[in-house]
Amino acid sequence: MIEAAQLRRGTVLELDGELYEVTEYELKKMGRGGANVKTKMRALERGGSMIDRTFGSNDRLQDVRLETRRVQYMYNDGDLYHFMDNETFEQPALSKEAVAEVEAFLIDGIELSLAMYEGRAIKLELPVTVDLEVVEAPPSHKGDTASGASKPVKLSNGMMVTVPMFIDSGTIIRVDTRTGAYVTRVSS
């Protein structure tokens, strides 16, 4: 149990029998009264719907500790995405809704963290960056790089990313999974 004033981004709570992750919080102090904590939370199991809740700063809430395992992405068979636990070789699966936010970065063999609660797979945490191949890039022209210009390219996972002009098709680039932005060239 924690007090609402102790909530932080990423805290997982159990409310009304459901698991929610705090995505935003704001402590508002009232004039003479107590303080309130306004939160936005995402449901971890039922399709990831967002809810807004306000708590008194002294309200006691049931926080949840998730077990984290290192897993490797194996494949998907339409509605389920299958992973393999690196230690036990168990093969948990997540629904398409549960991986919707990170689906574009699920490339064969990628290692990531899987949060588990009472034996159920709950959510995935990607590495901060992934390396992807550029499959389509418009041609660069001599002198374009002097102004720090950029161009959109298509990656092997279907994403479009803005990169510097010197990046061509076949180049491997590093992409930030939190923002989807180009970080650096890995190899040409």
Kindly report the CATH number assigned to the domain that includes residue 159. Answer: 2.40.50.140
Going by C-alpha positions, the residue among 31, 110, 23, 25 that lies closest to residue 75 is: 110
166-173 mean pLDDT: 87
pLDDT recorded at residue 72: 92
pLDDT at 78: 82
Q: Is residue 145 helix, strand or coil?
A: helix
- Specify the DSSP element, H or E, that contains 64: none
**Structural domain range at position 38:** 2-63
Please indicate, yes or no, whether residues 111 and 143 belong to a single structural domain of this protein: no
* 107 and 160 together in one domain: no
Q: Does 18 score more than 80 pLDDT?
A: yes
- Residue 46's pLDDT is 67
Give per-residue pLDDT as tens, 92-151. 888 777 777 788 888 888 898 888 888 787 788 888 888 888 888 888 766 555 566 788
Please say if the pLDDT value at position 188 is more than 70: no
Same domain, 56 and 34: yes
Residue 54 and residue 9 in one domain: yes
Same structural domain for residues 97 and 116? yes
- What is the per-residue pLDDT across 28-85, written as a single tens digit (0 to 9) for each? 887 777 788 888 888 877 666 788 888 887 888 888 888 888 999 888 888 888 889 8
Co-location of 58 and 105 in the same domain: no
Domains of the chain: total: 3
pLDDT at 147: 61
pLDDT at 47: 65
CB proximity list for 117: less than 8 A, separation 6 or greater: 12, 19, 64, 66, 67
CA 91 to chain centre: 21
